[in-house]
């Protein structure tokens, strides 16, 4: 289990829309901690501290430690509400972690081998269909990211969820829901711009040949 982020919070006793607006004016973020068979706890976090943490992708796939007035809670972030037009965090939901219970966490994908893939060398374009994968595992097995190697792909080939090899103790949630959920993760497609250029070149060659034949007649 990796704990790389620590947050400091205070208990929030004054609830309601009016209290929430006052908190946001003070550059604070209302949040709640719930789960693991314990009562939900309403808390307040410093906006800048939380915003800085969310700028790191690992924040969303790590066990977090929140110090709530001296009591530390191990949690993962489950929801983060952002302002639709401003760079402002509006609310956060945190789920308590039990070391004996499996978690479901969206873990980012890191793609490797793109530059050396045969399809890339032939001018193909790598397309990423997914940027993260929902993983089920115990807290101690939670990875920071999932590595997907595309170095063997030719143009027209792709990798699906079922092609990903995971470490022991990890399970892809979508694959437990049936074959229809075996989503495409990455593919190498033919470069359309190059194809258009080739088609135009062929058309020009054909026109040239026709002109030559007509002049010959």
Token pair in block for residue 168? 């022991």
Q: Which residue has the higher pLDDT, 172 or 4?
A: 172
Ramachandran quadrant class, 113 (left: phi over 0; alpha: psi -120 to 50; beta: rest): left
The CATH classification number of 104-194 equals: 2.170.120.20
Q: Which residue has the higher pLDDT, 34 or 211?
A: 34
The domain locations on the chain are: 3-98, 104-194
**pLDDT value, residue 207:** 56
**Closest by CA position to 8, among listed 34, 44, 32:** 44
162 pLDDT above the threshold of 60 = yes
DSSP 183: -
- Mean pLDDT score, 167-191: 96
**pLDDT value, residue 192:** 76
Instruction: Measure the CA–CA gap between 73 and 97, rounded to whole angstroms.
Output: 8
**Closest by CA position to 50, among listed 77, 25, 69, 73:** 77
179 pLDDT above the threshold of 60 = yes
Contact of 145 with 171, CB cutoff 8 Å: no
26 pLDDT above the threshold of 60 = yes
Contact of 31 with 9, CB cutoff 8 Å: yes
- Among 8-17, 19-28, 60-69, the range with the most confident prediction by mean pLDDT is 60-69
Contact of 94 with 64, CB cutoff 8 Å: yes
24 pLDDT above the threshold of 60 = yes
Mean pLDDT of the chain: 89
3-98: which CATH architecture? Answer: Beta Barrel (2.40)
The neighbour count for residue 119, using CB atoms within 10 Å, is 23
Per-residue confidence band for 213, with pLDDT thresholds at 50, 70 and 90: low
183 pLDDT above the threshold of 80 = yes
DSSP 54: H
pLDDT in tens, 37-91: 899 999 999 999 999 999 999 999 999 999 999 999 999 999 999 999 999 999 9
Contacts of 81 (CB under 8 A, 6+ apart): 89, 90, 91, 92
Per-residue confidence band for 14, with pLDDT thresholds at 50, 70 and 90: confident
203 pLDDT above the threshold of 90 = no
Q: What sign results for the dihedral spanned by CA atoms 10, 15, 17, 18?
A: negative
- Mean pLDDT score, 120-129: 96
Upper half-sphere CA count for residue 107 (Cβ side, 13 Å): 25
In DSSP terms, which residues pair with 7 in a beta bridge?
66
Contact of 170 with 205, CB cutoff 8 Å: no
């Amino acid at each position: 289990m990796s704990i790389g982020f620590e947050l400091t919070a205070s208990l929030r006793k004054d609830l309601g829309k009016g209290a929430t607006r006052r908190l946001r004016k003070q550059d604070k973020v209302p949040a709640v901690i719930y789960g693991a068979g314990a009562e939900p706890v309403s808390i307040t976090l410093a906006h800048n501290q939380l915003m800085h943490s969310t700028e790191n992708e690992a924040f969303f796939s790590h066990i977090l430690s929140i110090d709530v007035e001296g009591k530390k809670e191990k949690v993962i972030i489950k929801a983060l509400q952002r302002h639709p037009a401003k760079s402002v965090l509006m609310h956060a939901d945190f789920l308590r972690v039990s070391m004996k219970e499996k978690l479901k966490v969206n873990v980012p994908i890191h793609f490797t081998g793109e530059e050396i893939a045969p399809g890339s060398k032939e001018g193909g374009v790598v397309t990423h269909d997914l940027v993260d994968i929902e993983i089920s595992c115990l807290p101690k097995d939670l990875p920071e990211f999932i590595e997907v190697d595309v170095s063997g792909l030719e143009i027209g080939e792709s990798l699906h969820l079922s092609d990903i090899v995971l470490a022991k103790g990890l399970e892809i949630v979508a694959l437990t829901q049936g074959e229809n959920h075996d989503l495409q993760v990455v593919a190498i497609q033919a470069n359309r711009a190059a194809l258009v250029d080739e088609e135009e070149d062929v058309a020009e060659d054909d026109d040239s040949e026709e002109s030559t034949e007509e002049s010959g007649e």
